[in-house]
Chain A
Amino acid sequence: MDRSYLAKRLLHALIIAWGVMTASFFLMRIGPHSPADKYLATLGAGHNVSQVTAAIESRYGVDRPLYEQYFNYINSLLHGDWGWSFSTSMPVSDLIKIHWAYSFQLIFLSSILAIILGISLGIFTAARKNTKADHIATFFSFAGISIPNFWLGMMLILIFSVKLGWFKTYYDTGLPMFSLSNLYALILPVITLATGMVAGYGRFVRSSMLENMNKDFVRTARAKGLPESVVLRKHVFRNALLPVVTIIMLDMSGIIFGGAYITEFIFGIPGLGWMSLKAVFSDDYSVVMAVTLIGAFVTLFFNLVADIAYTYLDPRIRYE
């Protein structure tokens, strides 16, 4: 049963991946951009426009029938050909190879911090339900969820860089990624990206803990004479963790991708979001589309991981 469930999830993921690529193809077709327009814009006057257009359109296959274009598009995506970046004059796939690691570093550090702090906050507040500490933490969680992260980033810059002068350095791609200077420059971005996550995970863990605290098996555990700390850590937390893992996995993609995009923009970290936004303003269509597609594929990947993780964490599904 286990294996067929996995197969089903994989098949589902493949269908969605196909749907995502198809959707991007049609978005591109109904959009106002033709590859020829892009190229002509960089070309300037003095050329035979219609000839050049025809040449480019044949080069890109835009003059072919729609189904053939569609097939070629999917085919090239699958072969790692994500198009040509006009603004940087290199294949988009090379551009991605240069920039992805910076996004990964920012997201990785923020997520680790957010998971540790968020889960601790959730356990702390659940164990002190309805006390003053809980109320204060709940208030700050709401604030953390509600604060726009781009504004938070700006306020951190205003207070700690402009007014206090503590953070004057910016992320420097000339230095190693994990150099002290770059890690120091990542402190404010990581706080910016992690704040909302800490608050969100904290609240989610709290409600999941509270839900499980009322379960009969927790009373059974207490009746066995287990110390309260073991009851909370083992019986409540391990069960509360199940939905938390799913939420964190699903969150990884959507909110983090959006958040990282903006955080990179504010702090000038040369990740995929920064690259995409630069492409938006230099009207480099393929790059913008590629980053959106990557976002979708990463989401899909984490959804799949969440599904699989769940089956391994919950014996009820594992042994169905």
Chain B
Amino acid sequence: MKLAAYYLERLKGNKTAIIGLAFIIFLVLTALIGPFFTVSPTQVNFSEKNLPPIGFSSEQSEYSAKVGGLVMTNMHGTWKHPLGTDGMGRDLLSQLISGARVSLLVGLLATGLAIVIGAIIGVSSAYFGGIADSILMRFTDIMITFPFLLLLILIVYMFGSSLALIILSIGLTGWTGTARLVRSETLSLRTRDFVIASKALGASDLRIIFYHLLPNTISSIIVLATLSIPGAILAEAALSFIGLGDPQVASWGNILNAGQNDLQAAWWIAVEPGIMLFFTVISFNFLGEGLRDAFDPKGDYN
């Protein structure tokens, strides 16, 4: 714990990392308690469709019974829908909050799964060596050779696009970087004295792996995980954006997909989820780089 406090102290000196962390905390809180304060993200109301955000106004065509046809009216944002509504009158603020939940869920679960798989493969590959190492590493090479997004599209296309399956596929395809990192770090640890000593004392392979090898790679894993989360979030968003996302949930990618066709009439639908996505990704990148610097023993100089 003392060590954690030490790294936290070093992280505090990094302005961008702290900004990133603050935004992530804000996002998590919003995703957790936001739904209690907003209307349902799926509530359709055609009389309030394409409302602009507060402070903006926009020309919208509307059916008028008086004229018996479409008339152009100037719509203004309302406090009821502070961020506006989409083409079906659904509240965008609550959709964005729902999207935050989806993105965080995907980012954390998929990355978590990828890290666990990668760590297991990497550490076993390095620890057992020989043929096991060759087979596991060639397998990793093969996985790495498939472009990430193309493989995801193929899997989601073949097996369906529920959110659970999307998370699972991102996790099952995204572990290769972790495996290579953990393998190389473990390789350099394997010959260290403390591992040899515990081997000599008769410690089991599992014990050596879990008590000696993995904990020593933890700082690299944390950095890699933090920097992998945006990749997972973007992968889900990209899938949803091209129309392969889970249609049951309001994710940022889904909103963007809908907004693509409404650029002319309602620009905010495409702008708002993108801004959220951008801030989320850049926050994790800032935090990840900050953590890397904080863990870097060379960072002590100057």
Task: Let me know if A248 is at the binding interface, CB within 8 A.
Answer: no
Binary CB contact string for chain B from 145 to 179 against chain A (1 if under 8 A, 0 otherwise)? 11111110111011100000000000000000000
Taking each of B142, B278, B285, which has the highest tally of chain A beta carbons within 10 Å of its own beta carbon?
A: B142
Cβ B150 vs Cβ A154 within 8 A: no
Nearest Cβ on chain B to A265's Cβ, whole angstroms? 6
CB nearest to A151 among chain B residues: B274
CB nearest to B259 among chain A residues: A154
CB nearest to B157 among chain A residues: A280
Task: Let me know if A276 is at the binding interface, CB within 8 A.
Answer: yes
Cβ A150 vs Cβ B238 within 8 A: yes
Task: Let me know if A308 is at the binding interface, CB within 8 A.
Answer: no
Residues in A neighbouring B273, C-beta threshold 8 A: 151
A162-B264, A299-B146 known; A142 and B286 CB under 8 Å?
yes
Binary CB contact string for chain B from 255 to 292 against chain A (1 if under 8 A, 0 otherwise)? 01001100110010011011001100110011000000
Give Cα A171–Cα B256 distance, bound, in whole angstroms. Answer: 23
Which of A16, A151, A154, A162 is B142 in contact with, Cβ under 8 Å? A16
Which of A27, A33, A299 is B145 in contact with, Cβ under 8 Å? A299
Task: Let me know if A185 is at the binding interface, CB within 8 A.
Answer: no
Task: Let me know if A241 is at the binding interface, CB within 8 A.
Answer: no
Give Cα A277–Cα B154 distance, bound, in whole angstroms. Answer: 10
CB nearest to B243 among chain A residues: A281
Task: Let me know if A107 is at the binding interface, CB within 8 A.
Answer: no
Residues in A neighbouring B100, C-beta threshold 8 A: none
Cβ B147 vs Cβ A296 within 8 A: yes
Give Cα A19–Cα B208 distance, bound, in whole angstroms. Answer: 32
Which of B16, B149, B238 is A257 in contact with, Cβ under 8 Å? B149
Cβ A15 vs Cβ B138 within 8 A: yes
A155-B271, A281-B243 known; A27 and B149 CB under 8 Å?
no
Cβ A16 vs Cβ B141 within 8 A: yes
Cβ B153 vs Cβ A32 within 8 A: no
Which of B263, B282, B286 is A154 in contact with, Cβ under 8 Å? B263
Task: Let me know if B127 is at the binding interface, CB within 8 A.
Answer: no
Residues in A neighbouring B230, C-beta threshold 8 A: 146
Cβ A20 vs Cβ B142 within 8 A: yes
Binary CB contact string for chain B from 47 to 70 against chain A (1 if under 8 A, 0 otherwise)? 000000000000000000000000
Task: Let me know if B115 is at the binding interface, CB within 8 A.
Answer: no
Task: Let me know if B139 is at the binding interface, CB within 8 A.
Answer: yes
Binary CB contact string for chain A from 126 to 153 against chain B (1 if under 8 A, 0 otherwise)? 0000000000000000110111101100
A146-B282, A154-B270 known; A295 and B241 CB under 8 Å?
no
Cβ A19 vs Cβ B154 within 8 A: no
Give Cα A266–Cα B141 distance, bound, in whole angstroms. Answer: 31
Cβ A16 vs Cβ B145 within 8 A: yes
Give Cα A262–Cα B241 distance, bound, in whole angstroms. Answer: 9
Give Cα A191–Cα B241 distance, bound, in whole angstroms. Answer: 19
Residues in A neighbouring B157, C-beta threshold 8 A: 280, 288
Task: Let me know if B196 is at the binding interface, CB within 8 A.
Answer: no
CB nearest to A15 among chain B residues: B138
Task: Let me know if B237 is at the binding interface, CB within 8 A.
Answer: yes
Give Cα A141–Cα B268 distance, bound, in whole angstroms. Answer: 25
A148-B238, A154-B263, A155-B274 known; A258 and B147 CB under 8 Å?
yes
Give Cα A72–Cα B234 distance, bound, in whole angstroms. Answer: 38
Task: Let me know if A261 is at the binding interface, CB within 8 A.
Answer: yes
CB nearest to A297 among chain B residues: B145
Give Cα A151–Cα B157 distance, bound, in whole angstroms. Answer: 22
Nearest Cβ on chain B to A159's Cβ, whole angstroms? 9
Residues in B neighbouring A292, C-beta threshold 8 A: 146-147, 150-151, 153-154
CB nearest to A144 among chain B residues: B282
Give Cα A27–Cα B264 distance, bound, in whole angstroms. Answer: 41
Nearest Cβ on chain A to B263's Cβ, whole angstroms? 5
The contact sample of 12 A-B pairs, CB cut-off 8 A, is A23-B142, A146-B278, A150-B241, A154-B270, A155-B274, A257-B149, A262-B241, A281-B243, A291-B150, A292-B154, A295-B147, A300-B145
Extra 17 A-B pairs, beta carbons < 8 Å, given A31-B158, A295-B150:
A16-B138, A16-B145, A32-B158, A154-B263, A155-B271, A158-B263, A158-B270, A253-B147, A276-B153, A288-B154, A292-B150, A292-B153, A292-B154, A295-B147, A296-B146, A296-B147, A299-B147
